[in-house]
Structure 1
Amino acid sequence: MSGNYLPANPFVEWLGRSALKLLGWRIEGKMPALDKFVVIGAHHTSNWDFVIFIALTFVLRLNARWFGKHSIFIWPFAGLLRRMGGIPIQRHLRLNVVDQAIQRFSEHREFVLVLSPEGTRKKVERWRMGFYHIALGAGVPIVPGALDYRNRRVVIGPPFYPTGDMAADLEALLAYFRPYEPKKPQYAFHGG
Structure 2
Amino acid sequence: MFRSFIARVYWACSRWTLSTNPAPTQPSILIGAPHTSNWDFVVMLAITWRLKIRTHWLGKDSLFRGWRGPIMRALGGIPVDRSNPQGLVADIVARRKAGEVFSLVVTPEGTRGAGKYWKSGFYRIAREADMPVVLGYVDRTTMTSGLGVTVKLTGDVVADMTRVRDFYADKAGMRPQFRTEPRLREEDIAAPTAG
TM bucket normalised to smaller: 0.7 to 0.9
Whichever residue aligns with residue 123 of structure 2, its letter is: Y
TM-score, normalised to structure 1's length? 0.87
Q: Displacement of 1:109 after TM fit?
A: 4.7
List per-residue Cα deviations over 1:67-113 (Å, max 9, x = no partner).
Answer: 11111113322212111110112223555222222112111252211
Give distance in 1, aligned partners of 2:86 and 2:121.
Answer: 13
Find the aligned partners of 2:5 and 2:62 in 1 and give their Cα distance: 30
Find out whether 1:179 has 2:167 as its counterpart. Answer: no
1:156 aligned onto 2:147:
yes
1:51 aligns with 2:48: no
- TM-score, normalised by the number of residues in structure 2: 0.86
Aligned partner of 2:24 among 26, 32, 54: 32
Helix, strand or coil at the partner of 1:158: strand
Identify the residue that residue 187 of structure 2 maps to in structure 1. Answer: none
Contact 1:148 1:155 in 2 (8 A): no
Structure 1, residues 21-60: CA drift from partner, whole Å, max 9, x if none?
A: 32212222122211x2111110000011011112222212
Aligned residue runs from structure 1 range 1-192, under 5 A: 9=1, 11-27=2-18, 28-34=20-26, 36-93=27-84, 95-191=86-182
Give percent identity, aligned residues only.
32
- CA gap of 1:111–1:191, structure 2 versus 1, over 3 A, is closer
SS of 1:169 mapped into structure 2? helix
The aligned amino acid for 1:105 is: R
The gaps in structure 2 that reach 5 residues or longer are 184-195
8 A contact 1:98–1:133 mirrored in 2: yes
Gaps in structure 1 of 5+ consecutive residues: 1-8
Check whether the contact 1:145–1:156 (CA below 8 A) recurs between aligned residues. Answer: yes
Preserved CA contact (<8 Å) 1:20 1:52: no
Tell me, in whole angstroms, the C-alpha distance in 2 between the residues paired with 1:94 and 1:180: 28
Question: Which residue of structure 2 aligns with residue 4 of structure 1?
Answer: none
Classify the secondary structure of the residue corresponding to 1:140.
coil
Cα shift at 1:149 = 1.7
Distance 1:190 1:70 in 2: 25
Query: Could you tell me how far apart the structure 1 residues matched to 2:83 and 2:98 are?
Result: 25
In structure 2, distance between residues paired with 1:131 and 1:95? 11
Question: For residue 30 of structure 1, what is the amino acid of its counterpart?
Answer: P
Which amino acid is the alignment partner of residue 77 of structure 1? R
Q: Is the 8 A contact 2:85 2:121 kept in 1?
A: no
1:118 Cα deviation after fit: 0.2
Aligned residues: 182
Distance 1:153 1:121 in 2: 19
